[in-house]
Chain A
Amino acid sequence: MTATASSAATSEVQDDRPYLEVDDLRVQFKTEDGIVRAVDGISFKLERGRTLGIVGESGSGKSVTSLTVLGLHNMARTRVTGSVRVNGREIVGLDEEKVRRMRGRDMAMIFQDPLSALHPYYTIGRQIAEAYLVHHPGQKAKAKRRAIEMLDRVGIPQPQRRYDSYPHEFSGGMRQRAMIAMALVNDPSLLIADEPTTALDVTVQAQILDLLDDLQREFNSAIIMITHDLGVVSRVANDVMVMYGGHAIEFGSVDQVLTEPQHPYTWGLLQSVPSLRGNAEDDLDPIPGSPPSLINLPSGCAFHPRCAYRMIGGGPCDLEVPELLPTAQEGHVVACHLPENERRRIFAEEIKLGAE
């Protein structure tokens, strides 16, 4: 149901299947306060050479989704159902040892804060070489060569010398470059970036986004970019999935979702972000209230208590969970009870005008 436009670069794809297929994924944690439905039935596909942006606020389930793809949860307290296929191979329910062998080789991850994500006691080079050695046991000399090569590739000057530096001796931007080098040392086809630039300054953020762009073109990898920053998404993503309360509420190409969004929550996000353009004297139009608790999600559409357009008087908004349904535009799916023509009208008449 979430068809993605086919990628231009198909040379390295062995068959027609997308590299990553997630189908009706559900992730639940048991906590003292109750069951947390962190991800509640999401589906998407991602081909090599393309970037999927996952957007949402804290607690939307965007980070949990990515950790599940890597199988990084504490399985004792987590229940995962549905399907996650990486390169055709089912991850959900797969033996931990087999998932481990795929981690870092088929799929890799970079995190928000590279200072805490790198081990403070080991040199940058050693940590990158270690990532290589896991999947190429015994090739110590090669691992070091490869680590230096990767440091060079991600734009770290004097990689030979920097191999022996510790994380705290790097600047924030350099550390994130080193993280990227470590993630890509085994040529994974899928890279998950969880808020990779949130802790960085804008000029460094631009450098890192450019680097990811270049590397993607070079290695034809699939990238999942998890972020709360719509600007970053607009800059790097081909497709966008908007998440709210553990659900995907809108999915489509970056143009569809960011220039013709159909979900009231997406409208709200766009209107609450201050921009470098438009009339700065105008008040922002924030979404009222706060993101919901995943333990006690509102009934029906999880967004309905904050939604300015919920149907008045016994509509289905507070009763039924809306399904993610296709719109008139191919590839654009939205989970909202409002009829599509009504959504288009509201956006054209009330939202779009306010935005510019």
Chain B
Amino acid sequence: MSEQTFEPGSQAAPTAVAPRSSSPLLTVEGLAKHFPVKQGAFGTKALVRAVDGVDFSVDRGETLGLVGESGCGKTTTGRMVVKLLEATAGKIVFEGRDITRFNRSQMRALRHDLQIIFQDPYSSLNPRHTVGKIVAMPLQVNGINPPGGVKKRVQELLETVGLNPEHYNRYPHEFSGGQRQRIGIARALALRPKLIVADEPVSALDVSIQAQVINLLRDLQREFDLAFVFIAHDLAVVRHFCQRIGVMYLGKMVEIGDRHQIYEEPAHPYTRALLSAVPDVTKIGEKGRERIRLEGDVPTPLNPPSGCRFRTRCWKAQPKCAEVEPPLLQIGTGQQVACHFPETGPIA
């Protein structure tokens, strides 16, 4: 495999953009995760570059969406941020402290502020524990005794997420999928975190339930001034929930910007292709509309294309794209794109 000469994230240094606020809640610089795998008849070691140098920041109370197709590294990024995975390279700074190499006990203190919600509301709750116990767990693990007692606090939390506080003693299997996801949210809220990483929190739910949970998350975000890293493949859901959106492709951030920039005037061809591919009810009657058709699949992260990783599927690719990796550059206030030939203007 061709060894690239740059260190993950290093190319971003000269173009690094001044943070939008003086002290963002979370800053991620050059974050990378490489998984070693054995390959071929001789068991030669290869690296899956799941995340390969990603920079972004999240302000207090801000919602950042991470979108991209499977294998783009969005979930791995989320897990590194909450330290469920150890980063191979790069830096994670939370409230001004570098937490990249925090150990277990240091992380325990940080759990107050940093929580995660998972996709599967079925497997992420212990079936043998009552809802009360599940939601109380973060409090007890951290030895917190809130005023009025743990039970009162848990019941408040259940009420906050729209569950009946009297269901304190029930077990997860007695709840529907949407209600279980609410339990997971209540658990994440128990310590009053400042940042929640939500990994596909609504994709396992029915449409009508999905909307309920999105509304709940929006209410909570406003009420508690929570910051979110919201990971999802559904672009419409992300548009609805997130103020800023990062688009990832094969372990790289290819574009980042606010809602209007990403959904109305995206600059990266990949962002445009993604949006174009979404079948949307409101597009009905526009059947003749030109869609961008991407050919083929996402290449393997074991051996990503040289230069721009999207070039193998990009209709605008030039020889330069194979030679030089485009850095993530500022093109407008808050909008950054990694493309040699970015698009301009609103989408058709």
Contact = CB atoms under 8 A, between A and B. Distances in A.
Interface string A79-111: 000000000000000000000000000000000
Interface string B60-101: 000000000110000000000000000000000000000000
A123 interface: no
B211 A171 contact: no
B304 to A, nearest CB: 15
Interface stretch (B21-29, B290-298, B322-330): B290-298
Interface of B: 69-70, 176, 178-179, 206-212, 214-215, 218, 233-237, 239-240, 259, 263, 273-285, 287, 291, 293-295, 297-298
Interface of B is mostly: helix
Interface in A300-356: 355-356
Interface of A is mostly: helix
Contacts, number: 132
Given A274-B240, A276-B239, A171 B297 contact: yes
Contacts of A285: 211
Contact of B281 (A206, A209, A275): A275
Given A207-B293, A255-B285, A283-B218, A277 B206 contact: no
A283 to B, nearest CB: 5
B279 A291 contact: no
B311 to A, nearest CB: 15
Given A206-B293, A273-B236, A290-B176, A278 B282 contact: yes
Interface string A280-297: 100111111011000000
Nearest to B300: A171
A120 B12 CA distance: 43
A276 B212 CA distance: 18
A254 B279 CA distance: 14
13 contacts: A172-B297, A173-B297, A202-B233, A203-B69, A206-B276, A231-B280, A254-B284, A259-B285, A275-B282, A276-B275, A280-B259, A286-B210, A290-B178
Contacts of B291: 206
A274 B203 CA distance: 13
Given A57-B206, A290-B176, A201 B211 contact: no
Contacts of A229: 279
A228 B203 CA distance: 12
A114 to B, nearest CB: 13
Contact of A275 (B178, B236, B276): B236
Interface stretch (A35-43, A67-75, A181-189, A264-272): A264-272
A186 B212 CA distance: 44
Contact of A274 (B206, B211, B297): B211
A162 to B, nearest CB: 13
B211 A272 contact: yes
A242 B233 CA distance: 25
